[in-house]
Amino acid sequence: MSVREDAADLLGELTDLRRALHREPELGLDLPRTQEKVVGALDGLGLELTFGNGLNSVTAVLRGAAPGPTVLLRGDMDALPLQEKSRAQFSSTTDGVMHACGHDLHTSLLTGAAKLLTARRADLRGDVVFMFQPGEEGQDGAKEMIDQGVLAATGTTPSAAYAIHVTSGMLPFGVFATRPGPIMAACADVKVTVRGRGGHGSAAHRANDPIPAACEMVTALQVMVTRKFDIFDPVVVTVGSFHAGTKNNIIPDTAQFDATIRTFSAASLDRIRPAVLALLQGIGAAHGLEVEAQFYGLYPVTVNDEAAFETVRRTVRESFGEERFAALPAPTAGSEDFSRILERVPGAMVFLGATPADRDPATAPFNHAPEAEFDDAVLPEGAALLAELALGHLSAA
Ligand SMILES: [Zn+2]
């Protein structure tokens, strides 16, 4: 039987696991019940399991029948802080928490890949690391797992790494889409506090008003993006929150705003932070204000290896058919901590369309929307692709 045929037999159990995870979503690095379900699903496979310290990660190692290289397959497991409004029968039972990015599917399909590959252990010349990762949504769980040794789990640094990300729209059901080079943006968030001196709104000269200068900073950031950065290496800066003051006739001491910055090259990422800092401090100095800028939530650009991209394209075409592969014309502006792995190991991130049959991919509520829905029928397909990619790498070695 082919990997895909074997995977099809897993549909029931992968769906059950995905729905159980969906009902009980957990946030950040702290996913004890999710971890428990993963361990339950891997039970009896004879994998070497290790758990994170201070985060509920699971690193599972499958030793092949003969020695060889290591392949890493990754699934993220965390949910998002939002109230579910999907039509699912198995919707979240935790108020204000929802698997709206499909990480419940990633977790489930990675257990499927573990099952498919365990059944083919005899064909494996080398080892597979299954990386079940918490804290993708801003907690940098991948970095934490790297610091705790996920890339040393077999004793050999992986020579290939793959991850799948499902989408609730954009792609038709069952289409695998990826591209060579940058596939997702880098993200460098910045929290800014502008400190002046408060006072009466009728006598501004006696105070030092931080609000006009902070407003100037917000617009100057947009100007900087268009004047200092190449339009063919895009940069996005969005100030998504701005807070200052309590009442119209009181000048506050401080104004604060919070921005997210996306770039699609490491070079732009390196340049933008000092540029932002210099701009903010320059405007602050012009008005005699103190500026504090704190960068946080930094994820690098997610960059697919060219050869790994070719491997994915070939594997999808051979195992699933020509029509199931789409080359993405441009990266997406989301960011991903799988970038941490791809900085160290050549590999690829692949999107998989999980748009429900009754929705149009062009208009379906996308990942992170409270109405987002993902079709469980992609689970065996995702599991099969990851298993095929690992098999390809370990039998070609
Ligand atoms: Zn996600």
Strand 186-195 with 254-263, pairing: antiparallel
Q: Which residues of 107-136 are buried (b: 16+ CB within 10 A; e: fewer)?
A: bbbbbbbbbbbbebeeebebbbbbbbbbbb
Question: How much is the average pLDDT of 125-145?
Answer: 97
Express each pLDDT in 82-106 by its tens digit: 999 999 999 999 999 999 999 999 9
113: CA distance to ligand 1 center in Å?
A: 19
165: CA distance to ligand 1 center in Å?
A: 7
195: CA distance to ligand 1 center in Å?
A: 36
328: CA distance to ligand 1 center in Å?
A: 18
Question: How much is the average pLDDT of 1-14?
Answer: 96
Question: How much is the average pLDDT of 38-67?
Answer: 98
251: CA distance to ligand 1 center in Å?
A: 41
217: CA distance to ligand 1 center in Å?
A: 31
**C-beta separation of 86 from 372 below 8 A:** yes
Is pLDDT at 397 greater than 90 in this prediction? Answer: no
103: CA distance to ligand 1 center in Å?
A: 6
Q: What is the dotted CATH code of the domain comprising 3-182+301-395? A: 3.40.630.10
Question: How much is the average pLDDT of 314-321?
Answer: 97
58: CA distance to ligand 1 center in Å?
A: 18
Distance CA 62, CA 166 (A): 24
Distance CA 356, CA 63 (A): 36
Residue 396: per-residue pLDDT: 57
Phi and psi at residue 329, in whole multiples of 5°?
-70, -30
Distance CA 210, CA 248 (A): 14
Residue reference for tokens 């990480």: 103
Q: Where are the domains of the chain?
A: 3-182+301-395, 186-299
Query: What amino acid is encoded at 117 in this protein?
Result: L
- HSE toward the beta carbon, residue 8, CA cutoff 13 A: 5
Q: What angle do CA 184, 190, 195 make, to 5 degrees?
A: 165
Q: What is the dotted CATH code of the domain comprising 186-299? A: 3.30.70.360
Distance CA 107, CA 109 (A): 6
Residue reference for tokens 């987002």: 372
Share of the chain above pLDDT 90, in %: 97
184: CA distance to ligand 1 center in Å?
A: 11
Q: What is the mean pLDDT of the chain?
A: 96
40: CA distance to ligand 1 center in Å?
A: 23
Beta bridge partner(s), residue 60: 49, 130
Q: Where residue 54 falls among pLDDT bands split at 50, 70, 90? A: very high
In the 8-state DSSP scheme, what is residue 80? B
In the 8-state DSSP scheme, what is residue 85? -
Q: Where residue 318 falls among pLDDT bands split at 50, 70, 90? A: very high
**C-beta separation of 51 from 57 below 8 A:** yes
Express each pLDDT in 326-379 by its tens digit: 999 999 989 999 999 999 999 999 999 999 999 999 999 999 999 999 999 999
Distance CA 123, CA 390 (A): 11
169: CA distance to ligand 1 center in Å?
A: 13
Instruction: State both tokens at 256.
Output: 């604060």
